[in-house]
Structure 1
Amino acid sequence: MKKYINQLSLRLIILSVMIMAISSCKKTEDAPDEPARIFKPSDVKITTAEVSAKLTWTAPLLSTGKILKYNIDFSTDSLFSTIKYTATSDTTGVSVTEDNLGVRIRYYARIKAIATETQPESKYIRSSAFQLSGIQLFLAVRDNEVKENGVTLRFTPTTDLNSIVLTPATGAATTVTLSAADALSGSKTITGLVGGMKYSAELFQGTKSKGLTTFTTLTATTYTTRLNPGDDLAAAITAAANGAVIGLNPGTYTLIATSFITQKAITIKSTSGNPTDTKVNYKEFDLEGTGAGLTLSGIEFDGTAGASLYFLNLIGSQANNASAATFTNIVVDNCIAHGSTTAFLRGDRGAAARDFKISGITVNNSIVYDMGANGSSAYYMFHLTKLQFNTLNVSKSTFYNNGPGLVIASTTYAGDVIPSVLISYSTINGFGGNAKYALVDANANPISFVVQNSIFANTPKSGTVVASAIRATGAGSTLTISNSNYFNLNTALTGGTALTFATATLTSNQTTGLTWTAATTDFTLPVGSALRTASSTGTAIGDPRWTY
C-alpha cells in the first residue's frame, strides 16, 4: 500500500510540473507584457496620389511620455528581401514622392519604433501593397497613326520631356530621344518597329515617368501587287485573284468607269496607311455575285469627278442585277469617302427579300461626307432593305452632310438571325430628310439597333423634312441609345417638332447643345466640355479624332 501511495504522489508531482511548464509557455507566448510587442506601432493607413503617398500609424502602447523615432523601409516584395528606400520619422507619419519611389510600381512598407535607452526596438508592422499612380501626359493613341512599322505618339506639350522608352512584348527595350521641339510640339513619330507587335511606351522627364501607354503595330501586309500613280488600277482590279491585296503607293488614281469585283474578295490598301496622301477618283465599286467582297484601307475616295451615284453597290450580275447572291464581308477602314449623290452602300437589288445575303459590314475610323443629294435622295446611307445581314458596325467614324437617313432594313422577312446595327464612338451631323426616318427604319422587321458613346445632331437638312428618328416595331427588336449626346433634332427646320426615339431605351444620355450647324465640318469638342468624359469608359464621346 505504501508503495502504491508513493507512486501516486510521484505522478501528481510530475503532473503539477507539466501544468506549470505549459502555463509558463503560454504566458511567454501570449501575454501582452513583452516590451518589443507593446512597443510596436499599429494600424497603418496609406493615402496615395499621382506622385506621392502618405503613411500614418498609431503610436505604441508604451509611448506615453516618450520621444520616439521610427524606421520605415520600402520594398517591392512583402518579404522585404530587397529594400528600395528607407526613411525615418519622429512623428506617426511619413511622406514619400516620386523622388523616393518609382511610379506605377507595387510597394510594401514596414515600420518599427527605434530602441530608446529604456526600451528595445519594436517588432515591425507591415502595410498592404500600394503604388504611386503617376502623371499621365500621354494622349490616346489614334488608330490611324498606328502603322505596320511605326507609330505617332501624342502627349501634353511639356518642357524638359527628354525620352520615350519603348518595350516590345518580346525583345529588348529601346530609348527614343525627344528634342526640345518634340517636347513642345506634343508628338513624336517613331519608325523601325516590328509589325504585329504589342509595345508599351513610357514617357520621361529626366528619370521621372510622365506617362504610360500601350499600342500594337499593324500586322505586316503582303501585297499581291503594288501600284504607282499612272498605273492602271482598273486593270489590276480586273486581274486580281480572290484574296489579292492591291497596294497603292502615295498619289492619285482614277477609275473613270464602274469597277466590278466579280465573285472574289479583294483588298485595296494604301502602302502609307495615310488617306490624305493616297486618293482614288472613283465612279462606283460594284460587288458582283456570290463570293464578292471588298476591304478598303487608308485611302481617300472622291466620287465627284466620276459623277458617282453609289460608293458601294451590291449586284447579282451585270446581266441581271437582281439575281441571288451571297456576298463576302465589306470593310472600310481608315478611309475618307465622299461625293456619291445617292447612297454610301446600296444592297436592295435582290428580286425578293433574302435573295442577297452578307454576314458583316464594317466602317471604322473613317470620314464619310457629301452623300445623298442634300437629303432628298430616296436611298438611305446604308440602304439594306431586302438584304439579309448579320451585323453592321460603325465605329470611331464621322458622317456629315448625308441623307436622308442612316439605315433602312424595312422589307419584312424571316431571316436566319436578327440583324444587329451598332454605332459607337461616332459623330453624325447634318442628315435626314425626304420624309424618312433619320436613324433607322426597320418597319416590322425585328432588329437590334444600338447607339453608344456617340454624338448626333442637326436634322433635317435644308429644305427637307424628317418623319421621325426611329421606326422599328418588329417583335423581338431591341433599341438602345446610351452615353450619347444629341441636339437640334427636329422634323423640320421651321415649325417642326423635336424627334423622339420610339421605344428605345435611353440611358446616361445628354442633350448638350454645341455650336455646330448642318454646314459644320470641324467637330472638335470644346476644351473642358463634359462630353470629353461622358463615355461609358470615362473618355470622350463621338469620333475620337475630334478630342485633340
Structure 2
Amino acid sequence: MKKYMNSIVRNLLCVPALVLVIASCKKSEDVPTDPARIFKPGDLSVSASATTARLKWVQPILSTGKTFKYTVDFAKDSLFSTVAFTATSDSLNYTVTEENIAVRTKYFARVRANATADQPASKYIVSSGFTLSGTQLYAALRDNEIKENGVTLRFTPTVGLTSIVLTPTTGTSVTVALSVADAAAGLKVVSGLTGGIRYSAELFAGTKSKGLLSFTTLAATAYTVKLSPGDDLAAAIVNAANGAVIGLNPGTYDLSAASTFITQKTITLKSISGDPKNTLVKIKEIDIEGTGAGISLSGIEFDGAAGSALYFINFIGSQANNASAATYTNVSVDNCIVHNITTAFMRGNRGTNVKDHKIGNITVNNSIIYDAGVNGSSAYYAFHLDNMQFTNLTVTKSTLYNFGPGLVLASKTLAADVVPTITVSYCTLNGFGGNSKYAILDAAANPVNMTISNSILANTPKTGSVNAAALRATAAGITLSISNTDYFNLNSTGTTALTFAPATLTNTFTTALAWTALTTDFTLPAGSPLRSAGTGNTALGDPRWAY
C-alpha cells in the first residue's frame, strides 16, 4: 500500500513540471523573430503658396544616426482612395509644384519611411488639407464690362497665354482662344454668353492655370420698347406704363427742349449696349412727379448743357404744385455719366412740410458725375435732400468731381419713420465745396447715419471757402464713420485743414496725389500704396481708376 501511495505522489509532482515545460515551449514560440518596424515620421507640416507646397517632417524616433528614404503620396481625400502623385525624398522635406498636382484643389499628403535592409517600412503620417492657390493674372472685373451676353476680361499682359475656359454653373464649357495680340494686350472681349448665368473663367498658358475668376452675366432684359435715334423718346416716356423698360440703341437722343416728367409711375431707361459712351441723352431735367413715381437709369450719358439743366433729378409733388405731398418709390442711377448740371445733381426739398416727400432708396453706382453745381455761389448740395424723408442713399464705385458746395444736405429735423443711412463706398470725390457749406454732410440735429469707406476725398474748397468742420451732425445715437479712406488737400480755406468730428476715423490715410481741383483723370499711380489700402487689399476710390 505504501509503495502504491509513493507512486501516486511521484506522478502528481510530475504534472506541474510538465505544465511548466509546455508553457515554456509556448512562450518561446510567441517571441517575434522579424525585425521591428521603423517608427513613422513625426510632425508633418505643409506650407502652401500659389504654385508650390513645401512639406517638412521629423525623423522617426529611435533612428539616430540612420538615414532613410521617404515615400510621399498626394491624394484628394484623407483616406487616399486614389493617389494622385507619388514622390520619394532622401531628406526631411519635399516640395510639390503645380507640375505635379492641380491648383485650386484640396489635397492631403502622407509620408512614410521606406524599408531598409533590416527593417520594414514605417506606417504613414497624414497631413492636414492644403491647396495651391494658383497664379492669378486676372485684374478685377469692371461692373460696366459685364453684359447680358458677354464680358471683358482683363489680365496682366503675359507671353504664352493661350486660352480662357468659360464654364457655366450648368452646361458645357467653352474655350476661347487667345491670340498673341490678346496676350500682349491683356484683354479679351468675350461674347455669346447667356444672360443671368454664373460663369467661371480660367486663364491658361498651355495646360497651366494662370488665373481664375467668377462672374454672373446681367439678367436678360425684357424691353417694353426699343428705340433708335430719331424716334420720339419724349413720347415713349409719356406713354410708358408703370414698370415699362425703354431700351435705347446707340446714338444721341434729345430731351433738352423741356423737362421730362415721370408721373406716378416707375420706369426704366436703359442703353441696349450697356455702354454710356455710345448712348447720349441731352436733357433739361428729369422730374419725379407724384406718389408712385421713380426711375431706373442704366448705361447712358446725360448732358444738361443744351437744356441749361438746373437739376438732374428733381422731386416734385405735381406740376401744378411742386410742394404737394408725394411718396416716391426708388431712384437708381447705374453705369451712367452725368454732367453740365447748373444747380444740383439731385433736389429733394420741395415739400411744404417736413416728410411731405418720402422715398425708399436712392442709389448711384458705377457712375461719373461732374460739373454739377456752381461751387462758389450755389446754396444747393449735390444731394440736396433737406425736408425729404429717405431710407437709404447709397453711392458706390463712382466718381464725383467739380460738384456743389457740399455732398449731402439733410438738415431738417424730420422725426422720420426711419433713421436715414448714407453709404459712400469705393468712391473718388475731388474738387468740391464752397459757399461756407459743410463739405461732406450737413445733417444738423436730424438723425442720420453715415459711413464712408474705401474712398478718396480731395481738394476742397473748389472756390471760396467751406465750413471748418467737414460734417455737422448733432443728433444722439447716430453713427458717423470714415474708414479705409485717403484724404488730402481738404481745407476750409487756404491751408487750414478740415476737421471730421463727430465722425470716427479708422485706418485713414493722408497720402497726397498729384491732383488739383481741375483734375479729371484720377488713375492711381503704378506702385501707389493706395492700390492695396482698401478692405481685402483692394484699391481705394472708384475701381475704374485702379487699372
Range of TM-score over shorter length: over 0.9
For residues 456 and 336 of structure 1, the distance between their equivalents in structure 2, rounded to whole angstroms, comes to 19
The answer to whether the Cα contact below 8 Å between 1:375 and 1:402 also exists between their aligned partners in 2 is: no
Contact 1:376–1:403 (CA under 8 A) maintained in structure 2: no
Please tell me whether Structure 1 or Structure 2 has the larger radius of gyration of its CA atoms: 2
Residue equivalent to 2:4: none
Q: Distance in 1 between matches of 2:35 and 2:115?
A: 14
Residue in structure 2 matched with residue 299 of structure 1 by the alignment: 300
**2:3 match:** none
In structure 1, what is the Cα distance between the partners aligned to 2:303 and 2:76?
Answer: 57
Aligned to 1:503: 502
Encode CA deviations 1:468-509: one digit per residue, 9 max, x unaligned: 3111111222211111011101111x3x52110121111100
Aligned counterparts of 1:418 and 1:65: Cα–Cα separation in 2: 74
User: Where does residue 541 of structure 2 map in the other structure?
Assistant: 542
Alignment of 1:26-425 (within 5 A): 35-36=36-37, 38-255=38-255, 256-425=257-426
Report if aligned partners of 1:460, 1:466 keep a CA contact under 8 Å in 2. Answer: no
Deviation of 1:63 after TM superposition, in Å, equals 3.2
Aligned-residue offset at 1:53: 1.3
Residue type at the aligned position of 1:396: K
The code of the aligned residue for 1:475 comes to A
% identical aligned pairs = 63
Quote the residue 1:485 is aligned against.
486
**Equivalent in the alignment of 1:521:** 520
Q: 1:133 and 1:375 mapped to 2: Cα distance?
A: 52
Distance 1:308 1:388 in 2: 25
CA distance in 2, matches of 1:252, 1:272: 13
Alignment correspondent of 1:5: none
SS at match of 1:257: coil
Between stretches 140-149 and 66-75, larger displacement belongs to: 66-75
Output the amino acid matched with 2:408: V
Taking the aligned partners of 1:464 and 1:121, their CA distance within structure 2 comes to: 82
Aligned-pair CA distance for 1:463: 3.6
TM-fit CA distance, 1:467: 5.0
Look up the SS of the partner of 1:437 in the other structure: coil
Question: Taking structure 1 as reference, are residues 34 and 304 closer, same or farther at Cα in structure 2, changes over 3 Å only?
Answer: farther
- Counterpart contact for 2:405–2:466, Cα < 8 Å: no
Q: Aligned-pair distance for 1:61?
A: 2.7
2-structure distance, mates of 1:348, 1:34: 92
Of residues 126-135 and 327-336 in structure 1, the stretch that sits farther from structure 2 once superposed is 126-135
Distance, in Å, in 2 between the alignment partners of 1:400 and 1:65 is 73
Question: Structure 1 CA distance, aligned partners of 2:226 and 2:334?
Answer: 19
Q: For 1:515, give the aligned amino acid.
A: A
Report the Cα distance in structure 2 between the residues aligned to 1:383 and 1:432, rounded to whole angstroms: 14
**Contact 2:439 2:466 survives alignment (8 Å):** no
Indicate the SS of the match to 1:182.
helix
CA distance in 2, matches of 1:67, 1:326: 82
Q: Structure 2: how far apart are the matches of 1:375 and 1:422? A: 26
* Cα distance, 1:135 vs structure 2: 1.1
User: Distance between the aligned counterparts of 2:477 and 2:43, measured in 1?
Assistant: 56
**Partners of 1:327 and 1:418 in 2: CA distance:** 17
Question: Alpha-carbon deviation of 1:104?
Answer: 1.1
Q: What RMSD, in angstroms, separates the aligned Cα atoms of the two structures?
A: 1.9
Q: Report the counterpart of residue 4 of structure 1 in structure 2.
A: none
Judge conservation of contact 1:375–1:431 (CA < 8 Å) in 2: no
Cα deviation code 1:346-376 (max 9, x no counterpart): 0100011100000110000000000002342
Q: Distance in 1 between matches of 2:98 and 2:335?
A: 40
CA contact (8 A) 1:110 1:127 kept: yes
How much does 1:464 deviate?
4.3
Partner of 2:6: none
What is the letter of the counterpart of residue 534 of structure 1?
Answer: A
Larger mean Cα displacement after TM superposition, 229-238 or 88-97? 88-97
Cα deviations across residues 120-156 of structure 1 (Å, max 9, x unaligned)?
1221111111121111101101000000111001100
Q: Distance in 1 between matches of 2:430 and 2:497?
A: 16
2:438–2:470 Cα contact (<8 Å) kept: yes
Q: Is the 8 A contact 1:73 1:110 kept in 2?
A: yes
CA contact under 8 A between 1:72 and 1:88: conserved in structure 2?
yes
Distance (Å, rounded) in 2 between the aligned partners of 1:142 and 1:214: 12
- Alignment match, 2:447: 446
Which sits farther off after the overlay, 276-285 or 367-376?
367-376
What displacement does 1:34 show? 7.6
| Range with bigger deviation, 247-256 or 369-378 | 369-378
Q: Match of 2:358, as an amino acid?
A: K
Q: CA deviation at 1:182?
A: 0.6
For residues 507-545 of structure 1, the C-alpha deviation after alignment (integer angstroms, 9 at most, x for no partner) is: 100011111000000111111111111112221111000
Give secondary structure in 2 for the equivalent of 1:193.
coil
> In structure 2, do the counterparts of structure 1 residues 176 and 334 end up closer, same or farther at CA, with 3 Å as the change threshold?
same
Match of 2:433 in 1: 432
Greater Cα offset, 83-92 or 143-152: 83-92
Residue type at the aligned position of 2:346: L
Contact 1:288-1:318 within 8 A present in 2 as well: yes
1:512 alignment counterpart: 511
Measured against aligned partners, the alpha-carbon deviations of 1:253-275 in whole angstroms (never above 9, x if no partner) come to 00021100100000000000000
Q: Quick check: 1:361–1:391 contact (8 Å CA) kept in 2? A: yes
SS at match of 2:440: strand
Contact 1:445 1:475 (C-alpha < 8 Å) held by counterparts? no
Q: Which moved more, 1:465-474 or 1:198-207?
A: 465-474
Supply the distance in 2 between the matched residues of 1:39 and 1:316 (Cα, whole angstroms). 85
Pairwise CA distance, 1:85: 0.8
Structure 1 residue 39, shift from structure 2 partner? 3.3
Q: Secondary structure at 1:77's aligned position in 2?
A: coil
**How big is each residue's C-alpha offset from its partner over 1:151-204, in whole Å with a ceiling of 9 and x where there is no partner?**
001100000000111111111211111111111101111111111111111111
What is the distance in 2 between the residues matched to 1:41 and 1:506?
52
CA-to-aligned-CA distance 1:264-313 (integer Å, 9 cap, x gap): 00000000000001000111000110000000000000000111000000
Question: Residue 414 and residue 465 in structure 1: after superposition, are their counterparts in 2 closer, same or farther (change >3 A)?
Answer: closer
Look up the match of 2:9. Answer: none
Q: TM-score normalized by structure 1?
A: 0.92
Contact 1:111 1:125 in 2 (8 A): yes
TM-fit CA distance, 1:62: 4.5
For residue 286 of structure 1, what is the amino acid of its counterpart?
D
CA contact (8 A) 1:48 1:130 kept: yes
Deviations 1:316-374 (A, max 9, x none): 01100000000010000000000110000001000111000001100000000000023
Contact 2:374 2:403 in 1 (8 A): yes
